Amino acid sequence: MKFIHTADLHIGKFVNEFSMLKDQEYILNQMIDIIEEEQADGLIIAGDIYDRSIPPAEAVSVLDNFLSRLVDKGIRIFMISGNHDSPERIGFAKSIVEEKGLYIAGTYDGNARSITLQDKYGNLNIHLLPFVKPAVVKYYLQEDKIEDYHHSVEAMIKKFDIVENERNILLTHYFITSGATIPEISDSESVISVGGVDNVDASVFEGYDYVALGHIHRPQIIGGSHIRYAGSPIKYSFSEVHHKKSVTVIELKEKGKVDIRTRELTPIHNMRKIKGNLKELMSEDIIKEADVNDYIQATLTDADEIMDPIGTLRSVYPNTMQVIIEKNIKNNENVVAFEKIKNRSTIDIYEEFYQSVTGQEFDEKRYEVMKEIIEEASGEEV
């Protein structure tokens, strides 16, 4: 049985005040083409369906069209809510749409949500575990030890009936780590936190043939080749410029035999960075290097002030999202500044910094407080 795994659609998202809805519609159509080419039996969407809990009407319409077309083609869909979603809205009318092959886990009420499919290799159990906060899990399961995300996920998984000699897939949406290894994150994701009580260790997934993760926007594995983030289908920040967006293709044959590969997605507008002075970036040689309709972050190195740089850039690059002004400083100026700082005490440097930022006098009371802090931090007398 073959499935396509995706996540973090964030339908309705704006990036730097640009609506991504047309880009999302384009990439969802591309997913449908891949599903048909692969002759997949189902689609897995591992959370963050929408970008916010109350999505705009246009976003709902885009998702409705996408899911309806798949259902009409007889493709089963397995979908959970993520931390960006409203569980109640995602799970609306789930008992009705199941008749069409759309299986949704939005809210959590203490019960495990599983669907069993069959093929020539026997039963295939798909377990749906939406994003749930520990307090909610603790309320429903009445277990005192549930104080963090790891223990709450561990407790929820125990509610699933995992048959060891059958194939088992889990869908979930958390920040998964593996010992000291953490996934690579980007600027566009709302990671709960890195380290501490908000991580879930991959060890809780023992016994699963494939774990379909959502929440992190770069496609990657964590804790084993069968535990995977599909990543977002579109680049949502300039920290993702070098990401290759894709969907994951999973084919489960007999127990213990899982083939995993990816299919790359091609956006309607790529996201890229350009750097140079304004004249260079507007030159024909630079313009013809790539599609001028890409989403652009431009770093300008001009020494002089520029009037309306973003307007000028948009006359050639209409989808310029960000402009960064980078002032060039001569090397000898850096050396002089460094030597000036090197020969001064920490408290003198702080005094100058304080006065330049606040415009207030660095009086004796402030001096004594700062002196105490520096001595405590450095272990030396000021």
The CATH number of whichever domain residue 71 belongs to comes to 3.60.21.10
Q: Is the pTM for the entire model greater than 0.75?
A: yes
Using CA atoms, how far apart are residues 194 and 186, in angstroms rounded to an integer?
12
Bridge-based pairing of strands 227-229 and 210-214 is: parallel
The parent domain of residue 363 ranges over: 342-378
Q: Cβ atoms within 10 A of the Cβ of 262, count?
A: 16
Give me the DSSP letters along 283-327: SHHHHTTS-TTSEEEEEE--SS--SSHHHHHHTT-TTEEEEEE--
Please report whether residue 332 resides in a domain: no
Identify whether residues 240 and 371 lie together within a single domain. no
Identify whether residues 100 and 122 lie together within a single domain. yes
How far lies 200's CA from each of 55, 106, 191, 213, 311, in Å? 28, 20, 12, 12, 46
Identify whether residues 207 and 180 lie together within a single domain. yes
Q: Cβ atoms within 10 A of the Cβ of 81, count?
A: 29
Identify whether residues 201 and 316 lie together within a single domain. no
Using CA atoms, how far apart are residues 359 and 304, in angstroms rounded to an integer?
27
Number of domains in the chain: 3
* pLDDT reported for residue 356: 64
Identify whether residues 277 and 225 lie together within a single domain. no
- Mean pLDDT split into 10-residue runs, the chain, 382 residues: 97 95 98 97 96 94 96 96 91 81 93 93 96 94 89 93 93 94 82 62 95 96 95 95 96 95 97 94 92 96 88 96 77 47 68 70 80 74 64
Please report whether residue 334 resides in a domain: no
Distance of CA 340 to the CA centre of its chain: 43
How far lies 111's CA from each of 97, 155, 157, 159, 281, in Å? 19, 11, 10, 7, 58
Please report whether residue 100 resides in a domain: yes
Please report whether residue 121 resides in a domain: yes
Identify whether residues 228 and 290 lie together within a single domain. no
Identify whether residues 256 and 371 lie together within a single domain. no
Identify whether residues 65 and 128 lie together within a single domain. yes
Identify whether residues 208 and 286 lie together within a single domain. no
